[in-house]
């Protein structure tokens, strides 16, 4: 009888994802070199870059979710100045967006700061930007502001009483989200939409990251902790869809 230990498929998958991510990193580097040598004359490089980045983001999300499930990920809540954070994020994603003819703008008060896990939030917004490329007509706006939220997750005016949240918005000038997706999202199992081909994985990841951000209002009432959430709407200032990430 064999003494070989049973194979843990989740561990094997995690190891495979790590190896694939390294290979994708090399592919991205090679594509960048080839594009530079071709002086950016071929639009095929933009498409290739886009698809590789999508796959890279997907693998990063899978690896992060695996670490969270196995309690191997240690969240680091650090204060970030949103102006610098979003500027770095835009610079990182600008080549990909510009290769698809999408102009990126940002609107953030340079004094605005907030405490959150920068790696996780960066992953969420980068993934949303990659998805936005497929639907935007030519413009994307990223902004952030401090807002007040009611107990039932409704945004209030500045002079109304409510909990303080950071709201990061990604808006586009596309056709907007389908009606069934609008509103505050719940953490629901993923599934394939065989019409659009979407798995909902990016939004699932965004919701998971949002809910990891919690803030206890009172030590005497731990059950009253504020929790992050995601909201989709079609009230973009650019005329398309608007993704909102709320962090307490």
Q: Three-state SS for 233? A: strand
Q: Which of 29-33, 187-191, 234-238 has the lowest mean pLDDT?
A: 187-191
Q: Which helix (H) or strand (E) holds 230?
A: strand 229-233
Please state which architecture CATH assigns to domain 76-247.
2-Layer Sandwich (3.30)
User: In the predicted model, is pLDDT for residue 120 greater than 80?
Assistant: yes
User: In the predicted model, is pLDDT for residue 177 greater than 50?
Assistant: yes
Q: Alpha-carbon distance 18 to 21, whole Å?
A: 5
Global confidence as pTM: 0.78
Higher confidence at residue 5 or residue 46? 46
Could you tell me the pLDDT band of residue 197, with boundaries at 50, 70 and 90? very low
Averaged pLDDT for residues 209-228: 74
Q: Which of 20-24, 90-94, 140-144, 232-236 has the lowest mean pLDDT?
A: 20-24
Task: Report the pLDDT value the prediction gives residue 38, as an integer from 0 to 100.
Answer: 66
Q: Alpha-carbon distance 215 to 14, whole Å?
A: 30
Pair type for strands 103-108 and 139-149: parallel
Residue with tokens 């190896």, as numbered in its chain: 19
**If we measure between CA atoms, which residue out of 105, 103, 12, 121 comes closest to residue 64?**
121
- What does the pLDDT look like over 65-107, one tens digit per residue? 777 777 777 778 889 999 999 998 888 777 777 777 888 888 9
């Amino acid at each position: 009888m064999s003494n070989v230990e049973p194979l843990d498929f989740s561990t094997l998958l995690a190891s495979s994802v790590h190896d694939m991510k390294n290979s994708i990193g090399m592919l991205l580097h090679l594509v960048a070199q080839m594009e530079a040598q071709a002086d950016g004359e071929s639009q095929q490089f933009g498409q290739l870059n886009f698809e590789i980045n999508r796959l890279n983001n997907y693998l990063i999300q899978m690896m992060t979710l695996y670490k969270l499930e196995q309690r191997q990920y240690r969240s680091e809540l650090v204060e970030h100045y949103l102006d610098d954070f979003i500027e770095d994020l835009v610079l990182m994603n600008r080549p990909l967006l510009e290769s698809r003819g999408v102009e990126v703008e940002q609107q953030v008060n340079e004094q605005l700061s907030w405490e959150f896990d920068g790696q996780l939030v960066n992953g969420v917004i980068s993934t949303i930007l990659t998805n936005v490329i497929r639907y935007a007509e030519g413009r994307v706006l990223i902004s952030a502001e401090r807002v007040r939220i009611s107990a039932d997750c409704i945004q209030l005016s500045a002079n109304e009483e409510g909990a303080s949240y950071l709201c990061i918005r990604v808006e586009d000038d596309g056709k907007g989200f389908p009606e069934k997706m609008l509103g505050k999202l719940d953490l629901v199992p993923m599934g394939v939409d065989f019409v659009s081909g979407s798995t909902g994985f990016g939004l699932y990841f965004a919701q998971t990251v949002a809910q990891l951000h919690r803030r206890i209002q009172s030590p005497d009432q731990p059950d009253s902790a504020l929790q992050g959430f995601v909201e989709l709407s079609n009230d973009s200032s650019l005329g398309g869809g608007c993704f909102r990430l709320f962090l307490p």
